[in-house]
Amino acid sequence: MGAKSILGIVLVLMGATGLGIGLFGIFGKNVTAQSPWIFGILGFIFFSSGIGLMKSSGTKQA
């Protein structure tokens, strides 16, 4: 497992957490003092970046 896939996993986890906090704040009770849209947008960016890194670091089949 290379550095690319480890960074991809970290980004996916951060993105999923950000999306969860953002969606919970938008549709439910806001748990932070910040706008929930910040967490939703950054969560989406981190999640999609992590998925892209994990796809590009996959094993190549012949």
pLDDT, one tens digit per residue, over 7-55 is 989 999 999 999 999 999 989 888 788 888 999 999 999 999 999 988 8
Binning pLDDT at 50, 70 and 90, where does residue 60 land? low
- State how far the alpha carbon of 10 is from the alpha carbons of 24, 35, 58, in Å: 21, 23, 16
CA gap 9, 45 in Å, rounded: 14
Number of helices (H) and strands (E), helices first, in the chain? 2, 0
